[in-house]
């Protein structure tokens, strides 16, 4: 669906997107595919050019004013010739190469992968230290932290075959030992769990009050599988969890991910043609609750692309966010769309176009 770009001059740092090549993996998954796989099948090869096309439309002038992005780990481009613990270093090396392409200036002022969030297995305990050191070296100044996803549900139809985090990962002794070792590096930790697991993030944040944690995807409310049709009845539980987590000042939240198939907002995809106004109406209770709880200083809009192509094209997605922020002040919009992400992932200093923003 084509839409006129709203507030085209509003600066944006997209703090959450992926790059991958899933083509070798898709044939191994059963058909009919899980909705998540259907959502990304059309973007099974999502590289710098694909991202640039989504960001700019024509590949030349951005439709929205995307100044920079943050790459988020997704199990892509692992190094086949290294021991298991070190394989994720290959993903950071790849993302750093994409960042170098953007930094060449050949594609304008847009800086993809200005920040890089990789993966490391925190159940390694103290043995995580050399892995983090290798990730830092591979990022060439762009590595900003890790995500060790903990998303799990008893219903295998909710997440589907690509995700295999064990139940209660964030509460396990092995994970906590690794998290303690990781916290000495003063890097970010991105947490991805599903709504029924939000208590695990709360417990983790309270146990490590000095570790910066970013809660991905509004805590991922669920509307598919055994949760289909339950969004209204589970909303109060989700809201209570969000408010409790927001009391931990070491946690910030990403405003997005609601267009994933897991959430059921919309419940059909990929990109079945919902306009930004319709999407904003669906997402408003969740986005407004998060902003109310965390404030405009600890929240940031994210694309989660290409996963969120289930619900919207890249331009429509950001239009929906702009509709949701229409009542915010000019400074609040700059924080929500740009500066909070730039500060959280420490990328403002590498982007001269950001330095002039208040």
Domain membership flag for residue 332: yes
Q: Helix or strand or coil: residue 140?
A: coil
Measured CA distances, 159 to 164, 260, 318 (Å): 9, 11, 25
Q: What Å distances lie between residue 117 and 5, 42, 146, 190, CA to CA?
A: 29, 24, 5, 8
Its domain, for residue 173, covers: 11-355
Look at residue 206 and tell me if it is in a domain.
yes
On whether residue 1 sits in a domain, the answer given is no
**What span, in angstroms and rounded, lies between the C-alpha atoms of 30 and 8?**
42
pLDDT, average across residues 308-325: 95
Question: For the domain that residue 20 is a member of, what is the CATH number?
Answer: 3.20.20.140
Whether the pLDDT of residue 235 is over 90: the answer is yes
| 162's tokens | 């690509």
* Structural domain includes residue 2: no
Whether residue 273 has pLDDT greater than 80? yes
Quick one: average pLDDT of 284-290? 98
Mean pLDDT, the chain, whole residue set:
93
Residues in the chain: 358
Kindly report, residue by residue over 101-130, the tens digit of the pLDDT. 999 999 888 899 999 999 999 999 999 999
Please tell me the total count of domains within the chain.
Answer: 1
- Percentage above 90 pLDDT, the chain: 81
Is the pLDDT assigned to residue 61 strictly greater than 60?
no
- Tokens 């070798």 locate to 24
């Amino acid at each position: 669906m084509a839409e006129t770009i709203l507030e085209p001059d509003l600066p944006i740092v997209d703090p959450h997107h992926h790059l991958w090549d899933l083509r070798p993996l898709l044939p191994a998954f059963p058909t009919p595919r899980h909705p998540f796989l259907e959502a990304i099948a059309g973007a099974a090869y999502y590289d710098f050019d694909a991202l640039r096309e989504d960001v700019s439309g024509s590949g030349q002038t951005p439709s929205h004013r995307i100044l920079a992005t943050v790459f988020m780990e997704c199990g892509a481009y692992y190094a086949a010739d290294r021991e298991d613990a070190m394989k994720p270093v290959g993903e950071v090396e790849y993302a750093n190469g994409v960042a170098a392409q953007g930094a060449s200036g050949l594609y304008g002022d847009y800086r993809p992968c200005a920040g890089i969030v990789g993966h490391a297995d925190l159940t390694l305990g103290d043995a995580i230290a050399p892995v983090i050191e290798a990730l830092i070296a591979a990022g060439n100044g762009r590595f900003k932290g890790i995500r060790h996803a903990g998303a799990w549900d008893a219903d295998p139809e909710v997440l589907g075959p690509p995700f295999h985090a064990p139940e209660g990962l964030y509460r396990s002794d092995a994970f906590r030992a690794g998290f303690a070792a990781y916290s000495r590096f003063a890097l970010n930790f991105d947490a991805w769990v599903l709504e029924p697991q939000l208590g695990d993030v709360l417990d983790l944040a309270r146990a490590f009050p000095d570790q910066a944690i970013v809660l991905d995807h509004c805590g991922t409310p669920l509307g598919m599988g055994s949760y289909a049709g339950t969004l209204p009845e589970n909303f109060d539980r989700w809201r209570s969890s969000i408010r409790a987590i927001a009391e931990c000042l070491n946690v910030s939240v990403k405003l997005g991910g609601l267009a994933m198939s897991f959430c059921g907002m919309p419940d059909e995809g990929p990109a079945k043609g919902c306009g930004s106004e319709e999407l904003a109406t669906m997402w408003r209770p969740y986005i407004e609750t998060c902003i109310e709880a965390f404030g405009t200083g600890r929240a940031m809009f994210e694309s989660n692309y290409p996963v969120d192509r289930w619900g919207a094209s890249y331009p429509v997605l950001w239009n929906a966010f702009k509709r949701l922020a229409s009542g915010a002040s000019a400074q609040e919009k700059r924080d929500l769309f740009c500066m909070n992400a730039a500060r959280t992932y420490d990328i403002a200093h590498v982007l001269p176009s950001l330095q002039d923003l208040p």
